[in-house]
């Protein structure tokens, strides 16, 4: 079921994720060094981004060429590039050290890549019967460019650099990078597992690749959303916590809508003069005043960018969730065929349980006359048995003979009335009740 094409797709996504994770990780190094250690002004927001060029270039060289000489030469070039990017003499040392760290990291990845190629060659040489080697080759290929989640420590250290140098921008950016890093790691981990499943089941005719992709995408997105929300709850940046940011965002939206409404009134009507004074005080808040001050301050640009990034992410997530719900609703009750599989949505279990419970508790209403007849009959029997329960296996006719009367005609009549009251849905007449009352 299209396993090969799905594998290609997943491999592509993994490559992009690997690159993104490496970019985030090295930004996590350069941001605190630039705005903390080197104390660059915050309007030079672009200065830490210099690392992205070597990260992307090195990744492409490692991934798509086997030429080691080219890789070595690129590493030398990167160091030269670091010297050029540093500009002034003070920064050169830090830039070069960062680049040397990057080169070492890239070399380590390259070594892993070489090992992986060797393993693939061994599998090709020794054939498919060496399952263990095949499994190890698969493991090695999965480990290839994987960046461990432990590297989140870089953002953690970067954040504390921001604390030491009292740089809000560094702290905010490190928080954002940390969030992105964790989410990318979650997505990468799941995609890696899917790739592993695809590789193991490659060649199977009935492998449901499409369904696995659909379900895992859903699970990954949901898990990422939850993790993101769990992280953002603790976030408390320049503009307060996420709750206050959302609150202010909501207020701004309401304000915007009111303004639009007033503009419309002004366009068509005469009453705008009356409305205008009422809306004026709304615009004058303390937060807005603060915002206006920051607008002119280029130092706040980075903070604003970080906050904006967070808000955009939340908006994207909300849209994604809504899209997911819409798709779920559209596909509900649809029966799809996928190869030999028939896939259908079913009703949730809970509703069935509730229905069963309702059916159990539902009682047929019993009329007063029926109750009266049953009660008279019961009391008459209990009177004779002196309060003891009669033989519960006995039929009403037997009980009537034993405890009420032995007259055949009366027995028939009394038993008939009781059975009508006890087991049928027929109505009890007044004469029936009178007949029963005569007993007592």
Partner 1 sequence: MIIVFMLIGALLVYLIMEYIYQKKWNKNLTVVIRFSKNNITAGEEAELIEVVTNRKWLPLPYINVKYQVDRSIVFEDGTDNFAVSDMVYRNDIFSLLMNQRITRRTRIACNRRGVYIIDKAQMVSTGMFMNDVMVADVKQSAELVVYPERADVEGLEVTYNKLMGNIERNRHLYEDPFAFRGIRDYVSTDALSAVNWKASARTGQLMVNQYNETTSQQVCILLNLEPEGALVRENLSEASISIASGLAQKLIESGIQVSMISNGADIVTREPVNAEAASGFSHIDTINNLLARIDLKAGQIDFGKILLDMDSDNKGVIYCMISQNRRADLQHKFNRLAGTTEGSVWIAPYLKDEEIMIKDANAHYIGWEVDCHAN
Interface residues toward partner 1, by CB under 8 A: 152, 155-156, 159, 171, 174-175, 178-179, 182, 186, 189-190, 193-194, 196-197, 201, 203-208, 211-212, 214-216, 218-219, 222-223, 226-227, 229-237, 328, 340-349
Is 189 within 8 Å of 62 (Cβ atoms)? no
Q: How far is the CB of 349 from partner 1 (least distance, A)?
A: 4
Burial of 133 by CB count in 10 Å (0-12 exposed, 13-18 middle, 19+ buried)?
middle
Q: How far is the CB of 301 from partner 1 (least distance, A)?
A: 21
Q: How far is the CB of 65 from partner 1 (least distance, A)?
A: 32
CA torsion 364→370→372→375, rounded to 10°? -70
User: Based on CB atoms, which residue is closest to partner 1, 223 or 251?
Assistant: 223
Q: How far is the CB of 225 from partner 1 (least distance, A)?
A: 10
User: Based on CB atoms, which residue is closest to partner 1, 85 or 179?
Assistant: 179
The three-state secondary structure class of 236 is: strand
Q: How far is the CB of 102 from partner 1 (least distance, A)?
A: 23
User: Based on CB atoms, which residue is closest to partner 1, 189 or 420?
Assistant: 189
Report the DSSP pairing between strands 240-241 and 236-237: antiparallel
| Residue 53: how many other CB atoms lie within 10 Å | 12
Q: How far is the CB of 174 from partner 1 (least distance, A)?
A: 6
User: Based on CB atoms, which residue is closest to partner 1, 189 or 402?
Assistant: 189
User: Based on CB atoms, which residue is closest to partner 1, 157 or 394?
Assistant: 157
User: Based on CB atoms, which residue is closest to partner 1, 24 or 171?
Assistant: 171
Burial of 169 by CB count in 10 Å (0-12 exposed, 13-18 middle, 19+ buried)?
buried
User: Based on CB atoms, which residue is closest to partner 1, 215 or 316?
Assistant: 215
Q: How far is the CB of 233 from partner 1 (least distance, A)?
A: 6
Q: How far is the CB of 53 from partner 1 (least distance, A)?
A: 27
326-365 burial, b at 16+ Cβ within 10 Å, e below that, comes to eeeeeeeeeeeeeeeeeeeeeeeeeeeeeeeeeeeeeeee
User: Based on CB atoms, which residue is closest to partner 1, 78 or 159?
Assistant: 159
Q: How far is the CB of 345 from partner 1 (least distance, A)?
A: 6
Which residue is associated with the tokens 């366009």?
267
CA torsion 140→213→55→137, rounded to 10°? 10
Is 209 within 8 Å of 1 (Cβ atoms)? yes
What sign does the dihedral 188-193-199-204 (CA atoms) show?
negative
| 409 phi-psi bin (left φ>0, alpha ψ -120 to 50, beta other) | alpha
Which residue is associated with the tokens 């029926």?
370
d(CA 309, CA 413): 87
CA distances from 297 to 22, 41, 144, 252, 302 (A): 32, 12, 45, 21, 11
User: Based on CB atoms, which residue is closest to partner 1, 67 or 193?
Assistant: 193
Q: What does the angle CA 126 – CA 128 – CA 134 come to, to the nearest 5 degrees?
A: 85
User: Based on CB atoms, which residue is closest to partner 1, 114 or 229?
Assistant: 229
Q: How far is the CB of 294 from partner 1 (least distance, A)?
A: 20
d(CA 222, CA 18): 21
The three-state secondary structure class of 338 is: strand
User: Based on CB atoms, which residue is closest to partner 1, 237 or 396?
Assistant: 237
Is 168 within 8 Å of 162 (Cβ atoms)? yes
Is 258 within 8 Å of 241 (Cβ atoms)? no
Q: How far is the CB of 4 from partner 1 (least distance, A)?
A: 14
The upper half-sphere exposure of residue 58, i.e. CA atoms within 13 Å in the direction of its Cβ, equals 31
């Amino acid at each position: 079921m299209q396993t090969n094409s799905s594998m290609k797709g997943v491999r592509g996504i993994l490559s992009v994720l690997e690159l993104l994770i490496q970019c985030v990780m090295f930004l996590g190094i350069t941001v605190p060094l630039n705005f903390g250690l080197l104390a660059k002004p915050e309007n030079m927001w672009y200065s830490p981004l210099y690392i992205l060029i070597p990260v992307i270039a090195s990744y492409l060289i490692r991934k798509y060429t086997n030429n080691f000489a080219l890789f070595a030469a690129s590493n030398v070039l990167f160091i030269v590039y670091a010297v050029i990017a540093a500009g002034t003499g003070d920064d050169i040392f830090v830039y070069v050290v960062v680049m040397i760290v990057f080169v070492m990291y890239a070399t380590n990845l390259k070594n892993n890549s070489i090992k992986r190629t060797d393993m693939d060659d061994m599998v090709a040489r020794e054939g498919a019967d060496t399952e263990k080697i095949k499994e190890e080759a698969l493991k090695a290929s999965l480990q290839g460019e994987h960046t461990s989640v432990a590297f989140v420590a870089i953002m953690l250290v970067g954040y504390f650099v921001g604390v030491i140098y009292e740089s809000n921008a560094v702290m905010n950016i490190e928080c954002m990078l940390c969030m992105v890093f964790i989410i990318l790691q979650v997505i990468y981990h799941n995609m890696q597992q899917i790739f592993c499943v695809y590789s193991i089941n490659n060649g199977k005719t009935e492998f449901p690749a499409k369904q696995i992709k659909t379900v895992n995408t859903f699970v990954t997105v949901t898990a990422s959303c939850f993790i993101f929300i769990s992280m953002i709850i603790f976030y408390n940046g320049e503009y307060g916590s996420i709750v206050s940011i959302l609150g202010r965002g909501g207020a701004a939206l309401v304000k915007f809508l009111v303004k639009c409404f007033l503009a419309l009134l002004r366009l068509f009507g005469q009453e705008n003069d009356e409305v205008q004074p009422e809306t004026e005080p709304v615009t004058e808040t303390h937060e807005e005043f603060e915002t206006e001050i920051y607008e002119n301050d280029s130092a706040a640009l980075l903070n604003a960018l970080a906050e904006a990034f967070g808000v955009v992410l939340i908006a994207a997530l909300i849209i994604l969730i809504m899209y997911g719900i819409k798709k779920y609703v559209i596909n509900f009750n649809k029966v799809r065929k996928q190869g030999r599989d028939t896939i259908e949505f079913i009703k949730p279990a809970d509703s069935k349980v509730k229905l069963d419970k309702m059916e159990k508790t539902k009682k047929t209403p019993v009329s007063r006359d029926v109750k009266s007849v049953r009660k008279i009959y019961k009391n008459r029997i209990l009177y004779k048995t002196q309060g003891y329960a009669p033989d519960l296996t006995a039929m009403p006719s037997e009980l009537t003979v034993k405890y009420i009367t032995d007259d055949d005609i009366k027995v028939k009549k009394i038993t008939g009335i009781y059975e009508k009251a006890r087991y049928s849905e027929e109505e009890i007449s007044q004469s029936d009740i009178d007949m029963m009352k005569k007993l007592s």
